[in-house]
Amino acid sequence: MPTAETSRAVSVRVAMLHAAQCAGHAEAAARLITPVWPCREDRLTWIPVDAERLCQDPEQAARAARCDLCLALPTDDGSARAVLRACTRLAEAGRPVVCVLPEGLRPWRARFVRVGAVVHAAESGVEALAGLLTGVLRMAERVGSLEQELAVADRLAQSAKQWMRRVDEELHLASRLQRQIASPKLPETPGLRVGSLFRPLWHVSGDIYRAERLADGRLGVLLADAMGHGLCAAMSSVILAHFLRFVRRDADGAVRAIRPAESMLSLNDEMLRHTSESMRFASAVCALIDPGDGSVEIASAGHPPALVIRADGRVETLTAEGPLLGVFDDAEFVPARTALGPGETLVLHTDGLEQGLCGTGAGSGALLQATLRQCAGPDPRCPGDVCPAIAADRLSELLDAKAGSLHRDDDASAVLITRA
């Protein structure tokens, strides 16, 4: 298709639609138009096409459809009908069509316009017709170029859609695997009731929790929050889950529980060993709870303080000292201890829970304590006792009810342990 700059050098093929008895009229029109067309005569090809044969012969239709432009030349009502049918087929095939109507065929104008033809009044002159044909060709060239660009864009969009579908499937698989590895079902422990909240910001999360019932009846719990969001944070959390140990076998073969501070030291070494640009550091809290006497020992690595909800509704802060995991090779972790009475609850949580429920302003800590006190109270579904699983459900409902809950800034996780 010629452009304005190349129309004098590019070959132009024009199909001239005429009635069977009007071939001479088409040839005469070609002789009149050629001298004023802005294209060298040897580059301009006029191809007479019988409109009636075009509608009956697929080969004729294909021949006309290969032309750059179709010029319709009806002379009377009879020929106008045949030419209109041919114009309809060519317009549907995407060919630009210009129809020259004599004054006596003006009533046909609307019909030709409806099928997509550009109508030219014959009395306007040959020069005006040549200009119109040139303009239609240039516009058709631009439309063709846009159609090609749209086709390329559509292929790219389909490719991107398929890629996004594959990525989404892989992320869903990664999410399921991470939940199995890093946030499994909490073990049943006689004398303790446990509940958990796990609300990733994305398919995968930088938050993890692990819990293990030890042979002596105690419960070991880890809650960690890897820096950042998405896949990099999830990889860090999986490393933590993989290397976490609650027990070890001594040289004499005896199996003993690993104290929380020791667990923090071991995880810190692993984080330092695996630190990279994408995996840097994490906060964590590790707890060891004895359901027999209610004793609790925790160690923290730059993590929000644990909270203890007492039987009378008071909320106490249990703070253990220690730096983030993966930062210092000489890190020290100082444990903290307390005891749970019957019906009292230990709450381990990530900072995303506090931000999601209470924001980041002054007083958010006190607001979180009040929220936990409300959520961890007795429930009709768990008469006469505290049910941490129900409390976790309440916290999840509160997260959803907060304004902007669909656009939280961080993962939110918590583990609640109540002494029976």
pLDDT digits (tens, 9 = 90+) for 307-353: 998 888 888 999 999 999 999 999 999 999 999 999 899 999 998 88
Mean pLDDT on 283-303: 95
pLDDT of residue 53: 85
Residue 406's contacts (CB-CB under 8 Å, 6 or more residues apart) are none
pLDDT digits (tens, 9 = 90+) for 57-78: 888 888 888 888 889 899 888 8
* Residue pair 178/135 in contact by the 8 Å Cβ criterion: no
Give the residue from 73, 63, 70 showing the smallest Cα distance to 28: 73
Going by DSSP bridges, is the β-strand pair 118-121/97-101 parallel, antiparallel, or unpaired? parallel
Residue 362, classified by CB atoms within 10 Å of its CB into exposed (0-12), middle (13-18) or buried (19+), is: exposed
CA dihedral 311, 316, 322, 324 (to 10 degrees): 90
**Helix, strand, or coil (residue 275):** coil
Length of the chain measured in residues: 420
For the ranges 139-143, 232-236, 309-313, the one whose mean pLDDT is highest: 309-313
Which pLDDT band, with edges at 50, 70 and 90, does 264 fall under?
Answer: very high
Give the residue from 323, 201, 203, 219 showing the smallest Cα distance to 261: 323
Whole-number Å distance between alpha carbons of 267 and 263: 6
- Top CATH class of 12-150 equals alpha beta
Element (H, E) at 289: strand 282-289
Whole-number Å distance between alpha carbons of 239 and 269: 12
* Residue pair 62/52 in contact by the 8 Å Cβ criterion: no
Read off the DSSP letter of residue 299: E
pLDDT digits (tens, 9 = 90+) for 356-401: 777 655 455 666 777 777 676 555 555 445 688 888 888 888 877 7
Whole-number Å distance between alpha carbons of 268 and 273: 9
- Show me where the domains of the chain are located: 12-150, 183-419
Fold of 183-419: Phosphatase 2c; domain 1 (3.60.40)
In a 13 Å sphere around the CA of 104, the CA atoms on its Cβ side amount to 8
Domains 12-150 and 183-419 alike in fold: no
Give the residue from 202, 201, 224, 220 showing the smallest Cα distance to 211: 220
* Residue pair 378/413 in contact by the 8 Å Cβ criterion: no
Whole-number Å distance between alpha carbons of 111 and 105: 11
pLDDT digits (tens, 9 = 90+) for 19-65: 877 778 878 888 888 887 766 656 788 888 888 888 888 888 888 88
